[in-house]
Amino acid sequence: MGKVKMTMDTLQIRMNKELLKRIDVLVKSGVYSNRSDVIRDAVRRFVWEGEVESIEKKGDSVKLVRNTRDKLSKEKINLKEINNI
């Protein structure tokens, strides 16, 4: 499988000082490399939570999650591609 080239756009955002301080703590502690990594990860998590919330609340949700895990375990997953999202 060929290498997937991921292009990124630049986005300018405004944040209050308190939120920036919290982001900087994550960077200084080594959890993230820079502010952009923190924000990208936060957006990924927000999107993921939205996807998880889209699972129907009716029926056997445990069975649905198990079936989804089983299906995903059989698929070839490119973690580098996922991490570049």
The residue extents of the domains of the chain are 17-83
In this predicted structure, what is the pLDDT of residue 33?
94
In this predicted structure, what is the pLDDT of residue 35?
95
Residue, of 3 and 70, whose pLDDT is higher: 70
Closest of 52, 51, 45 to residue 83, by C-alpha: 45
The pLDDT tens digits of the residues spanning 24-72 come to 999 999 999 999 999 988 888 888 777 666 656 566 666 777 777 777 6
Residue corresponding to tokens 């997937």: 4
DSSP string, 33-73: SSHHHHHHHHHHHHHHHHHHHTS-SSS-HHHHHHHHHHHHH
Residue corresponding to tokens 């209050």: 16
Confidence of residue 17 (pLDDT cuts 50, 70, 90): very high
